Amino acid sequence: DFAEISIKDIDQIAKTSFPLCMRHLFEKVREDHHLKHGGRMQLGLFLKGVGLKVDDALAFWKAEFAQKVGAERFDKEYAYNIRHNYGREGKRTDYTPYSCQKVILSTPGVGDHHGCPYRHFSEENLRAALARMGVGSRIVEDVIDKARNRHYQLACTLTFEAGHGSSCDAGVNHPNQYFIESQKILQ
Ligand code: SF4
């Protein structure tokens, strides 16, 4: 398995191997130096599943949040939750990354960036995001069609296949599975 990723590789890996839901959150935290709770949970647990160790996770989030709220407030208000997700605080539950179903059924509000883009983005924003990923216009139409018909995971599978030039017979059912399938092809 792909047990570990390091912070220095993370931007590159996000571009090539993160599904759109996580890529969007990743880009937002880099851009805004902040994410609301739902986004921190969705991305944070995904990164944990991808193999980011707790100390690297703390460094990653701190580097961004410190630019917005300062290092001290980060340590006071946000670090606990990250350690908590890794089972280092509270009941010491080892929280698992969200499945597609869980992400698709989430209900992002104003200012939230979590959720599944194939469900929660406007058509216009989805088109723009797909274009940024380099998906060709004919495939974009297929993806939009699937999303419109509420086949979000099929839409994601088509995007995966377009981006990797390879079929994904198992389909996409978990963001971390998307990542693993991608790394299998790219490594
Ligand atoms: Fe993420 Fe799953 Fe939606 Fe793909 S289908 S964007 S992996 S939640």
Nearest C-alpha to atom 6 of ligand 1 is from which residue? 21
List CB contacts of 112: < 8 A, sequence separation 6 or more.
36, 38, 39
In this predicted complex, what is the ipTM? Answer: 0.99
Residue (of 96, 93, 8) closest to 44 by Cα position:
96
CA of 49 to the centre of ligand 1 (A): 15
pLDDT, mean of each 10-residue run, the chain (187 residues): 75 96 98 97 96 95 97 96 88 85 97 98 98 96 98 98 94 97 93
98 ligand 1 Cβ < 6 A = no
Q: Are 139 and 127 in contact (CB under 8 A)?
A: no
Q: What is the pLDDT of residues 92-131, one digit of tens each?
A: 676 899 999 999 999 999 999 999 999 999 999 999 999 9
Q: What is the pLDDT of residues 41-52, one digit of tens each?
A: 999 999 999 999
What does the pLDDT read at residue 128?
97
The Cα angle at residue 72 between residues 71 and 74, in degrees rounded to 5: 65
CA of 167 to the centre of ligand 1 (A): 16
What span, in angstroms and rounded, lies between the C-alpha atoms of 17 and 105? 23
What does the pLDDT read at residue 1?
46
Nearest C-alpha to atom 1 of ligand 1 is from which residue? 21
